[in-house]
Amino acid sequence: MYILVAGRGVAGSDATEREKNSSDSGPVEIVSPSATASKPSSTDSKPGTRDAQSLAGRGTDEVEAALGKPSGKLQTSQGALWLYPEWRVQFDHDSQVLRIERDQPVRLSKLDPQFVASSDAVAKGAYARAAADDAARAKAAELQKERIRIVSNGGQEVDLPSLMAPGKITLVDFYAEWCGPCRQISPQLEQLAKTDPDVTLLKIDIVNWNTPVIRQFGIQSVPNVRVFDRTGKQLGDATHDVSLVMKRVEQAKGS
């Protein structure tokens, strides 16, 4: 019995000692683990969370600190323009914020049927004019081909009347590729045929001095130009003088 009481006395003494020690050491504060976790600082907020409209009048450094680096920069007549996914920041020439606008995607409204019809009509009209121009150029090219014909058959004989255009004044130019004077007067003869609707030009390549066409027309020199009136009659002898050719053309027009 004595031993049991003594044991209890020892236990009680230990408890009392612990309470005493606790009271001697001051108050004990129990701290929750969650309370020791660091709270996020307001300075850790992401760029762009600040009210962008409050940046009016601020400089480029403050804008970049608030919104971050722009996705693009442009230069306008008012100053630099910074582009963000949601904002457009316009600076003045002193690099101060002039205005800030929210960048909204452009939405296309429903097209007006009358506008569509008008656009289609304009496009069709342009296409028709282009087609008409092409046709006119093709026709002009064909007319030039008819006004200027080249016979290169190796110097064989030619049926001259069948090669002349009915009702036209025909210039027959007997020439050779190796003839320098022929190349000199050829552009003048061609220009006359292109600009005068009454005149056509027939160029016949003699090739050399031993070809049948030389003997057929008794050609002794080149250039050898002959003028035929509307009835197919030759006016004067062959010549290499372009001014004389022009006079005979005028003569043929008056006949």
**Active-site residues: which are they?**
179, 182
E strands present in the chain: 72-75, 80-83, 87-91, 97-102, 148-151, 169-175, 199-205, 224-228, 234-239
Q: Is 247 helix (H, G, I), strand (E, B) or coil?
A: helix
**Who's near 142: CB < 8 A, 6+ residues apart?**
none
Cβ–Cβ under 8 Å, residues 86 and 49: no
Q: Residue 142 phi/psi, 5° resolution? A: -65, -40
Structure-block tokens of residue 18: 């612990």
d(CA 215, CA 218): 5
Cβ–Cβ under 8 Å, residues 171 and 223: no
Cβ–Cβ under 8 Å, residues 199 and 148: no
Cβ–Cβ under 8 Å, residues 92 and 77: no
d(CA 175, CA 186): 9
